[in-house]
């Protein structure tokens, strides 16, 4: 004998039916924190910030070395 049962429910309904915990609020807070950290990191790597970092006095030695190697 073979019995097939089809249940039509959402994942939230299935979790509640089985008594599993709802992690959605915790996941939402974690994702907001990750997004905030990513946006902060993006600001540090904007084209303007990179140019300022690369073109400060003393840090352009690599650029001169690169130009000299290109002439050879």
Whether residue 16 is predicted with pLDDT greater than 60 in this model: the reply is yes
Of residues 46 and 4, more confidence is placed in 4
Name the helix (H) or strand (E) containing 41.
Answer: helix 24-44
Q: Which residues of 27-47 are buried (b: 16+ CB within 10 A; e: fewer)?
A: eeeeeeeeeeeeeeeeeeeee
Distance CA 36, CA 60 (A): 32
The pLDDT assigned to 41 comes to 83
Whether residue 72 is predicted with pLDDT greater than 60 in this model: the reply is no
CA torsion, points 45, 48, 50, 54, in degrees to nearest 10? -170
The pLDDT tens digits of the residues spanning 17-58 come to 999 998 989 999 999 999 999 888 887 777 887 777 777 766
Of residues 46 and 5, more confidence is placed in 5
């Amino acid at each position: 004998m073979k019995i097939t049962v089809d249940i039509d429910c959402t994942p939230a309904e299935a979790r509640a039916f089985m008594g599993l915990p709802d992690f959605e609020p915790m996941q939402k807070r974690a994702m907001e924190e990750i997004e905030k950290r990513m946006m902060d990191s993006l600001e540090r790597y904007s084209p303007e910030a990179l140019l300022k970092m690369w073109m400060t006095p003393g840090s352009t030695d690599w650029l001169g070395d690169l130009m000299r190697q290109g002439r050879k």
